[in-house]
Structure 1
């Protein structure tokens, strides 16, 4: 998408993720159930969340108002403006608000209910190849992950499962990314005063891979499992004296990092290490030579 134009088109605006846009306005979900994000309505005062965003469809509905629609429909109500004024506002404030562009459907949690059938050691050849392509050794993955078999609409699938603090799984395979309920962050508490924060578990595993030959420092870790869960992770993160952020270098990740830096001096942005890449794993997979700035570790 080219943002050098003087305004955004309605087609471009509708591709912007409503969840990320609400986050840029300061609104965080009170509850996440599969692809449904529930908020106290930004359009009126309420104490019981009744404003829902279906992230797969990228549509919202306010049950109290009986209204819903696209990001544009929300914007003209929230800002009390016309469509053209909202499109101009999106463009002019983009450097500050920076909502993310929706990814392809394969990286959005399925709306169908996932039933976990069991978890096992990682042995499937396709998953082993997937780890190899991601430059993650099995010895690292098996410390934190399991091979998960799950069912959707009567069909059985499998993937690498990474458990969150509430017992749900983040699941990834070469073709599909999804998650089982309940959705939550993953914390690893080693009693350290320093925490490293990642957006997804593949980046966390990559970090562990790159530091496996170093003495164990007992650092704590937070895997958000969704940028929308940043607020939920803050109580754990802010117990630490130093919080190193290794978030994605996309629009929502950069926006979240900038907001964190403005909130508390404990937060440190480490994403400049891979500033020319999408995320930590993308850097390790694709960098032909180490960037000038590095972790100070032998990779």
Structure 2
């Protein structure tokens, strides 16, 4: 499909809900008094909140620097860029979500309630920021993921989409952890004798961050997208010479590893790499030993770079 990049006009940007937009950027009010939302200034360091958004007027004012205005004015200062560049950065998630909604962080996966409306090249600034927080370089994410616009709970949202083999999609953002039907595994086949199995796609992306480029074609990859699929693909896994398991370091993941190790000697427990952390992505984000992997070693000449992003 042909990718389309979204662009906001100045008028559209000015009408966007500033409280909601700052929440997407990771800033929450310290206190709320009627229509006034008070923040520690996103534009500078301070201990006493002096940055105010009046939600009725949809305007901001920073008492520390004596400046204020609309969202475009804020974007120019926040990103230290031109108006045109600020509009590019603001394009995406914000324009379709005018009302602020509290994050869903329970980890529950919702099925049958998601309607995928469209898919794009992964480019929205809030999603790029989310990737940065999870230490995934954009060049790796865009190789395997796309940006999806979807309906959920009678609202329209944007998220990072990761397609499964059945046509369903895993969706992640700061606000949601969701799955569209049908639910299934994702396979990346290179005709190899070895396979690496990951519980979630952010663990797979994390592995792509730390993987030397010359080792990529030496294995096939399976992302379960749900631990429940491990037993179902047992016959497929048995066809490989070696099976490396990168599952979560929790009770469910540990029990699944114990089961798989009984299936044969070709099964290997790789979770020791990130022992003490919840999963591979948690290790990549928080481990001092993972700092050297923060920049991708996969160059544009690697085999996978020639494949298109995984769009719907």
Please confirm whether the aligned pair reaches a TM-score higher than 0.5, indicating the same fold: yes
C-alpha distance in structure 2 between counterparts of 1:212 and 1:123, whole Å: 26
Instruction: Say whether the 8 Å CA contact 1:112–1:153 is kept in structure 2.
Output: no
> CA, structure 1 residues 167+173, in 2 after alignment: closer, same or farther (shift >3 Å)?
same
Q: Name the SS of the counterpart of 1:281 in structure 2.
A: helix
| Backbone CA RMSD of aligned residues | 2.3
Match of 1:126 in 2: 126
Note if 1:203 corresponds to 2:198.
no
Rounded Cα–Cα distance in structure 1 between residues aligned with 2:254 and 2:159: 29
Counterpart contact for 1:122–1:147, Cα < 8 Å: yes
Give the superposition deviation at 1:235.
2.6
For residues 52-93 of structure 1, the C-alpha deviation after alignment (integer angstroms, 9 at most, x for no partner) is: xxxxxxxxxxxxxxxxxxxxxxxxxxxxxxxxxxxxxxxxxx
Distance 1:224 1:287 in 2: 24
Q: Does 2:249 match 1:269?
A: no
* Unaligned stretches of 5+ residues in structure 1: 1-103, 292-297
Report the equivalent of 1:174: 174
The secondary structure found in structure 2 opposite 1:117 is strand
The Cα shift of 1:106 comes to 3.0
Quick one: distance in 1 between partners of 2:180 and 2:111?
10
Aligned counterparts of 1:125 and 1:249: Cα–Cα separation in 2: 31
Count of paired positions: 192
Structure ID, larger Rg: 2
CA distance in 2, matches of 1:133, 1:186: 24
CA contact (8 A) 1:141 1:205 kept: yes
Asked whether the equivalents of residues 222 and 237 of structure 1 are also in contact (C-alpha less than 8 Å), the reply is no
Unaligned runs of 5+ in 2: 1-103, 292-296, 299-312
Q: Please say which of residues 265-274 and 106-115 is displaced more in the overlay.
A: 106-115
- Verify: 1:149 aligned to 2:149, yes or no: yes
Alignment CA distance shift 1:181-1:112 (3 Å): closer
Contact 1:224 1:233 (C-alpha < 8 Å) held by counterparts: no
Equivalent pair of 1:121/1:146 in contact (CA under 8 Å) = yes
- 1:14-52 per-residue CA deviation (whole Å, 9 max, x = no partner) reads xxxxxxxxxxxxxxxxxxxxxxxxxxxxxxxxxxxxxxx
Cα contact 2:112–2:180 (8 A) shared by 1: no
Alignment partner, residue 221 of structure 1: 221
TM-score, normalised on structure 1?
Answer: 0.60
Give how far 1:214 is off: 3.7
CA contact (8 A) 2:111 2:178 kept: no
Alignment of 1:71-86 (within 5 A): none
Tell me the distance in 2 between the aligned counterparts of 1:105 and 1:273.
26
Query: What do residues 88-119 of structure 1 show as CA deviations (whole Å, max 9, x unaligned)?
Result: xxxxxxxxxxxxxxxx8631122562111011
